[in-house]
Amino acid sequence: MTKEMLSDYRIVENINEYLVTLGTGQSLADSLDQFIAVGLLLLLAFSANFICRTVLLHVVTKLVKNTKVTWDDVLFDKKVLVNLSRMVAPVLIYVLLPVVFPREPDVVSFLQRLCMIYIIATFLRFINVFLLAIYHVYSEKEQFKDRPLKGLLQTAQVTLFFIGGIAIVSILMNKSPAVLLTGLGASAAILMLVFKDSIMGFVSGIQLSANNMLRVGDWIVMSKYGADGTVIEVTLNTVKVRNWDNTITTIPPYALVSDSFQNWRGMQESGGRRVKRSIRIDMNSVKFCTPEMLDKYRKIHLLADYIDETERVVSEYNETHHIDNSLLVNGRRQTNLGVFRAYLNNYLKNLDAVNQEMTCMVRQLQPTEQGIPIELYFFSAIKEWVVYESIQADVFDHVLAIIPEFELRVFQNPTGSDFRELRTN
């Protein structure tokens, strides 16, 4: 319905004539007719708003609850509908103002501009609440919990309020939004400087999400910023990390793109958590095994088959090369260190806590002035931190306790007890 059609109703004139017929003087009727028309307009607008917020909102909410789909829970969320219903009153007032003030076009123009500003502000609030409803619904879904949805939400909010702000300012200045955008284009450098962090955060957020570099819940390490913990929130300007000491570290998103960081998600999604630790053996304790030592090792169930098989291979080798088994220098003989490594290999392969489908080995590293490093390299099947540390400690407790059985010594720098023993001797 156009303004011209509405003006034909001559509501104010009819009210004036009705007041005169009631016996009101013409001068008083001329003063009251405008106020009555405004009162009727406000009554009509707020009645429509009340009907939308009570009757329609109640009916729609009841219908939405009876459906199984989730998209209508977002579209017809209570807060969304309340903010949508708030637009009814200002729209009616905007449309009916020419009818209430038929003789004052300047007043109509001014009041319509105020109504339009209120309509735009209400519409922005409605869209913002709608976006928040979408965010809350999808952030609770399992497949979206680890996505940086909050950063995308904030980006949409910034864009929304920027456009709304341009529209409101253009209405206040009574100029076209294109004129304001042209003026803003000249000050683009200043805007880029002011919103530098937001722009860089937006671009970085897209890169982090598109390349699947970071999710909420990931364990990351970034020493430059003192971050070592779980990502709890990804926003437009910050990435929040809860460190293991329960402190919070904030990192700008663009730093995660420009600098390197360690993400432990691969370990968490894999079949095990790596253990790579070595123990140093005193080189002076390494020697050939005597028959008595081999007999002793055969009694260890993890070594019985290994000792017999190795002895057979050694005997065949020495017979083939006509070497006397009693010759320690020229003959091929087993050493206590070699048997010790075989024991550790079999020990790890029979341990339930070790993932046998991943790399598992015991290797000898380059000897140094601090002894011979024997490294245990395996993956714990349990990745939970406390249990993982317990498994690792149990393994090396056993290693340290079993070493004397092979007549080996752990390398250790001289301590006070060593000097006391030397002085006593």
Co-location of 255 and 154 in the same domain: no
Looking at residue 418, its pLDDT comes to 59
Q: What is the DSSP string of 171-213?
A: HHHT--HHHHHHHHHHTHHHHHHHTHHHHHHHHHHHHHHHTT-
C-alpha 19/C-alpha 401 separation (Å) is 109
**What is the C-alpha R_g of the chain?**
41
Same domain? For 287 and 400 the reply is: yes
Q: What is the pLDDT of residue 18?
A: 55
Residue type, 118: Y
**Could you say which DSSP state residue 403 is in?**
G
Q: Decide which of 169, 184, 208 is a domain's last residue.
A: 208
Q: What single DSSP character describes residue 335?
A: B
**Torsion angles phi and psi, residue 169, rounded to 5:** -65, -40
Is residue 29 domain-shared with residue 61, that is, in the same domain? yes
The answer on 358 and 307 residing in a single domain is yes
Choose among 215, 222, 225, 227: nearest CA to 268: 215
Amino acid at 232: I
If asked whether residues 164 and 111 sit together in one domain, one would say yes
Is the sign of the CA dihedral 300, 306, 310, 313 positive or negative? positive
Look at residue 201 in the predicted model and tell me its pLDDT: 73
Token pair recorded at residue 143: 């497949």
Residues of the chain with pLDDT under 50: 1-9, 327-331
pTM of structure = 0.52
Q: Considering 208, 233, 250, which residue would you say is the last residue of a domain?
A: 208
Question: Among residues 288, 359, 381, which one has the least CA distance to residue 326?
Answer: 288
Domain of residue 320: give its range.
273-424
Q: Are residues 293 and 261 in the same domain?
A: no
Interatomic CA distance for residues 324 and 71, integer angstroms: 85
Q: Is the same domain home to 230 and 202?
A: no
In a shared domain, residues 247 and 319: no
Cα–Cα distance measured from residue 223 to residue 361, given in angstroms and rounded to the nearest whole number: 31
pLDDT for the residue 399: 94
E-strand ranges in 8-138 read none
CATH of the domain at 240: 2.30.30.60
pLDDT of residue 78: 67
For residue 358, give Cα distances in angstroms to 188, 271, 363, 381: 55, 8, 16, 9
Whole-angstrom distance, CA of residue 309 vs CA of residue 57? 84
Q: What pLDDT score does 346 carry?
A: 93
- Same domain for 147 and 11, yes or no, is yes
CA distance 282 to 369: 10
Residue 412 Rama label (left phi>0; alpha psi -120 to 50; beta): beta
| Rounded to 5°, angle at Cα 14 from 11 and 20 | 145
- Do 282 and 338 belong together in one domain? yes
DSSP character string of 256-301: HHHS--EETHHHHHSS-EEEEEEEEEPGGG--BPPHHHHHHHHTST
Angle, in degrees to the nearest 10, between helices 105-139 and 78-85: 170
Co-location of 8 and 74 in the same domain:
yes
Cα distance between residue 235 and residue 201, in whole Å: 8
SS3 222: strand
pLDDT of 151: 67
Give how far Cα 322 sits from Cα of 62, 261, 263, Å: 96, 60, 58
In tens, the pLDDT along 138-162 reads 777 766 666 666 667 777 777 788 7
Identify whether the C-beta of residue 318 lies closer than 8 Å to the C-beta of residue 324.
Answer: yes
